[in-house]
Amino acid sequence: MTEAPSPNNRDSGEQDQFLTILSREEAVRRFEAALFPRAAVREQRRLADALGGALADDVVAPLDVPPFDRSNVDGFAVRSVDLSSAGEGTPVRLVLNDEAIACGTAPAKAVLPGTATAIATGGPLPRGADAVVMVEHTQPASGSGIEVRRAVSPGQFVSYAGSDIARGETLLRAGTVIGSREVGILAACGIADVSVARRPRVAVISTGDELVQPGSPLRPAAIYDTNGAIITAAIDENGGDAVFLGAVPDDDAQLEAAMRRALLESDMLVVSGGTSKGAGDLSHRIVTRLGRPGIIAHGVALKPGKPLCLAVCDGKPVVILPGFPTSAMFTFHDMIVPVLRRMAGLPPRADAKVGAKVPVRIASELGRAEFVMVSLVEGRDGLIAYPTGKGSGAITSFAQADGFLRVDTLADHMPADTAADVTLFTPHVRAPDIVIIGSHCTGLDLVTTPLARAGLMVRTIAVGSLGGLAAARRGECDLAPIHLFDDKTETYNTPFLAEGLELLPGWRRMQGIVFCKGDRRFEGVNAQEAVRAALADSACIIVNRNQGAGTRILIDRLLAGARPEGYWNQPRSHNAVAAAVAQRRADWGMTIAPVAQAYGLGFIPLAEEHYDFALVTARKQRPAVQAFLDALATEEIRAALALAGFRRA
Ligand code: AMP
Ligand code: MG
């Protein structure tokens, strides 16, 4: 586990596989040891351009603020002893000196016993005076004098020199990010130029023949380059100056040229993809040719993120992140951000943690520290952390999470109901106003739109109907959207309600057979005829649904025991069925009308599925739940649902 990677490989130019898998901590330790200490690169900035910069040095006050004893009010500078006997019945009369101290005027005359000098807010206290009386507490007296009917204490309404900022005081520490408040302190001290850490220039390269940049049309079998955009943004968020160099195909020569150029022009290089065992995975081999000492760690006992490769090439950090966006983001935040922040002169990021109970069992791989993204909701006795995981390929499991928890390297699972520490992605948890856990539907997004517009925070967690019901029974959500068909009673949803739950009718989703428009076997016939035609043609491939889905029950009934080609392809969602047919991986399947419509497929209606809500009665009176009920009842939402192909129950 702790053996160093073999140095000989560097010169052979090839380093094919994870030679040694390091623990996360050991990989970080070696990477940091190879990079630090290093001289901070600094630059001078005018105060007006300093916003967002990290101070390179401590700032020590060059002067006192205020620079002199200053009046806080409009009134008269006095000697407090003169007024020691002043009271309602015993006014004291003071003679006014013939000057008035305005803001910015240096006093010329001393305040002698028995006298006072008019002074404005911000004016410097004259010699002899030790307090100020507010003008409201005086009355003009005969001659050029004033009468005072209350005593004053020494120092009243005076800000002493240096009381705000004292000369020699350390005002701001190196590493502080300059915001408007820091700008204020610097300006008050008269500082016009500050020395800030120069943002490290970080080149970002995506690799893969399959990548297309957002904005361009997607070719078949291609995907959008997600990592390029997120890594670029995350670098800028953490004090770097990212330069995105685009996606490079899996071609050794092109990739090496791009990486060499990137390294010449920047302080750090972050590549994503091409770091695992695949035939087209080149990036880590190229790194071995880019400079010394080369690869520091390749393969970290970390999930997501095992294929992470850390290198230092002639003093510059080179990182190859795993290709899967969630793995790429997670390893970037966990292991690269600390290095980047240090190079950018920023203090380590403060990660806030909260305790939460995990209601479900989490399977984990033995021997790797596993990080699981979670969404937080408020339960009966404290926070509940729901794994958002859809696998390391899912961008949403990172983007929609509140934070993550760690399953120990030596555990093969985390049992349900474990109390865990959740590291937050944001400084604070904001508990959602309404929590909806269960089966997701695009219609649901329409209903929650007005809530979101009204400033309510809506949290929806897609765990399927049964998972939603379990959450509702445990009181972890307000509503559980479900579409469960009961074979015995041949009804939807109601038979599944437990005590404490009531049914809130949602909408109906027409289910039917989908096919590519123009397919003669399906065009213009009813469902039974379509199935007969499909079964009669041995080349006709079905895409099925997973066991337990209401749709699956319909399919099995229609098939009446037949097992056509494709039967064992059992995706878990309406969308996956439509995509399979639209991409001609299958000829037919069963999905809901709005999805068929969205994919431009032919549709033969068969039966309506009931999409309803199990409402937790005890939470019904909550304002956000009421807002949901109201939204569901409005004409506007009904119309929007109808337009999207849903029929209101
Ligand atoms: P690789 O590490 O290159 O083998 O990639 C692993 C997986 O991540 C593959 O499914 C890639 O298509 C995907 N992937 C790689 N790079 C990106 C990227 N920049 N954006 C989105 N997905 C990516
Ligand atoms: Mg790749």
pLDDT tens-digit profile of 157-169?
999 999 999 999 9
Check residue 388 and give its pLDDT. 80
The predicted model gives 470-487 an average pLDDT of 92
Q: What is the pLDDT of residue 391?
A: 56
- Give ∠ CA 295-297-301 in degrees, rounded to 5: 160
Find the mean pLDDT for residues 93-122: 97
Where is 385: in which H helix or E strand? strand 382-387
pLDDT score for 536? 97
Q: Please report, for residues 24, 340, 545, the alpha-carbon distance to residue 31 in angstroms, rounded to integers and kept in the order given.
A: 11, 12, 47
Share of the chain above pLDDT 90, in %: 76
Mean pLDDT of 293-312: 91
The encoded tokens of residue 118 equal: 């008019």
Query: What mean pLDDT do residues 551-576 have?
Result: 93
- Return the number of other C-beta atoms located less than 10 Å from residue 184's C-beta: 10
Cα 45–50–54 angle (5° rounding)? 95
Whole-number pLDDT of residue 18: 52
Tell me the average pLDDT across 319-330. Answer: 90
C-alpha of residue 596 to centroid of ligand 2, in Å: 32
Ligand 1 within 6 A of CB of 281: yes
324 lines ligand 1 (CB under 6 A): yes
Please answer whether residues 300 and 30 qualify as being in contact, where contact means their C-beta atoms are separated by less than 8 angstroms. Answer: no
Read off the pLDDT of each residue in 318-323 and give the average, rounded to a whole number: 94
Residue range 265-270: mean pLDDT, rounded: 97
Under DSSP, the state recorded for 642 is H
Give the CA count within 13 Å in the CB-facing half-sphere of 325.
Answer: 20
pLDDT at position 182 over 60? yes
Task: Determine the distance separating the centroid of ligand 1 and the alpha carbon of 233, expressed in angstroms.
Answer: 18
Q: Which atom of ligand 1 is nearest to the CA of 322?
A: 2
CA of 562 to the centre of ligand 2 (A): 40
Tell whether ligand 1 has an atom less than 6 A from the beta carbon of residue 276: yes
Indicate if the alpha-carbon torsion angle 96, 97, 103, 107 is positive or negative.
negative
8-17, 228-237, 445-454, 493-502: least confidently modelled range: 8-17
Query: 389 pLDDT band (50/70/90 cuts)?
Result: low
Say what the pLDDT of residue 633 is: 95
Tell me how far apart the alpha carbons of residues 335 and 307 are, in angstroms, rounded to a whole number: 13
pLDDT at 305: 82
Band (pLDDT 50/70/90 cuts) for residue 458 is very high
Distance 317 CA to ligand 2 centre (A): 21
pLDDT > 50? residue 7: no
Determine the 3-state secondary structure of 114 from DSSP: coil
Check if the beta carbon of residue 308 is closer than 8 Å to that of residue 27.
yes
- Mean pLDDT over 457-470 rounds to 88
**Given this model, what pLDDT does residue 553 score?**
86
Q: Is pLDDT at 277 greater than 80 in this prediction?
A: no
Q: Using CA positions, which residue lies closest to atom 15 of ligand 1? A: 323
Ligand 1 atom showing the smallest separation from residue 206 Cα: 19
Q: 3-class DSSP state for residue 86?
A: coil
Beta carbons within 8 Å of 638's beta carbon, 6+ residues apart: 648
For 81-90, write each residue's pLDDT tens digit: 999 999 999 9
275 lines ligand 1 (CB under 6 A): yes
459, 436 Cβ separation under 8 angstroms: yes
Ligand 1 site, residue 391, Cβ cutoff 6 A: no
pLDDT at 137 over 90: yes
Give the lowest-confidence range in 282-286, 579-583, 615-619: 282-286
Residue 78 has pLDDT above 90, yes or no: yes
pLDDT (mean) for 276-292: 81
Q: How far apart are CA 339 and CA 123, in angstroms?
A: 50
Whether 612 shows a pLDDT value over 70: the answer reads yes
- Please state which of the ranges 20-34, 217-231, 377-391 shows the lowest mean pLDDT: 377-391
Residue 3 binned pLDDT confidence (cut-offs 50, 70, 90)? very low
Ligand 1 pocket, residue 272 CB under 6 Å: yes
Element (H, E) at 576: helix 574-582
Q: Whose CA is nearest to atom 6 of ligand 1?
A: 323
6 CA to centre of ligand 1 in angstroms: 27
Burial (CB count within 10 angstroms: exposed 0-12, middle 13-18, buried 19+), residue 189: buried
Cα 416 to averaged position of ligand 2 atoms, centre (Å): 36
**Cα–Cα distance between 93 and 116 in angstroms, integer?**
10
Of 3-17, 359-373, 451-465, 478-492, minimum mean pLDDT range: 3-17
Residue 93 phi/psi, 5-degree rounding, is -105, 130
Which neighbouring-strand residues pair with 54?
Answer: 177
Among 324, 326, 397, which residue has the most ligand 1 atoms within 8 Å of its CB, making it the best to mutate?
324
CA distance 59 to 48: 17
Give the pLDDT score at 2. Answer: 36
Residue 39 and residue 26: Cα distance in Å, rounded? 24
Average pLDDT taken over every residue of the chain: 91
Q: What does pTM read for this prediction?
A: 0.81
Percent of the chain topping pLDDT 70: 95
- Provide the pLDDT for residue 368: 87
What pLDDT, in 10s, does the model give residues 341-383?
999 999 888 888 999 999 989 988 888 888 898 989 888 889 9
Q: For residue 60, which amino acid is it?
A: V
